[in-house]
Structure 1
């Protein structure tokens, strides 16, 4: 075989080796993070739920997801161990750098989006009439079918 034809194969093997090595490093880091958990630590599960660690077991962890509400999770379901400041900022809203909106009020209707209030313009001119109006062609056909009962068709 020509050494040039082996080059793509060698590159592929090298890339797979690097990807496998990187994945193993990530798994080891995640396992170490889970091993550093202690009761009272704030965590985020892989499903995005925030909770506090109550008890640790070999493969499971007891989480308090709300005051007095406990659930057992697999340790592998813990996505991140959070430091106290981050956990309190996310769960309790304790944030000194919180966004200050200076008393901005969000309206509960769409009137502010259109620039007019619903109560401002009550004239008949601004209202749209949704009733069907008889046109020149409709008046003759309405007179023909006036005497017929519902369900009877016009004969043509």
Structure 2
């Protein structure tokens, strides 16, 4: 009977590990990788809810441009990436056909 209760306790601990601890470790690792890949031009959200574009970054801090205001944050204060930085911004041009004004003087 005592061996059975020890086995149940061990199974319960293993289940708790795989259901709670392991996913949290994976999420923390993914967040750390995301922080390491941040570069200027990336649109991010801080843990305080501030939206901005990374203007400059170094090992520990990031400077965000929020509508012309430059703010410096710890790198760990970045919650998630909204829009990744693009390597080279593509120039998009749209061709709109122009209709010529067919104004002719007709004499009756």
Q: CA RMSD in A?
A: 1.7
TM-score (norm 2): 0.68
Structure number having the greater strand percentage: 2
In the alignment, structure 1 residue 44 sits paired with structure 2 residue 45: yes
Q: Match for residue 70 of structure 2? A: 70
Report how many residues are paired: 83
Q: Match for residue 26 of structure 2? A: 25
Please show how residues 114-133 of structure 1 align to structure 2 within 5 Å: none
Pairwise CA distance, 1:12: 2.9
Q: Quick one: distance in 2 between partners of 1:50 and 1:12? A: 42
Judge conservation of contact 1:42–1:82 (CA < 8 Å) in 2.
yes
> What residue ranges of structure 1 are gaps of 5+ in the alignment?
85-156
Task: Report 1 or 2 for greater relative contact order, CA contacts < 8 Å, sequence distance ≥ 6.
Answer: 2
Q: Quick one: distance in 2 between partners of 1:76 and 1:33? A: 10
Q: Quick one: distance in 1 between partners of 2:30 and 2:38? A: 13
- The structure number with the bigger radius of gyration is 1
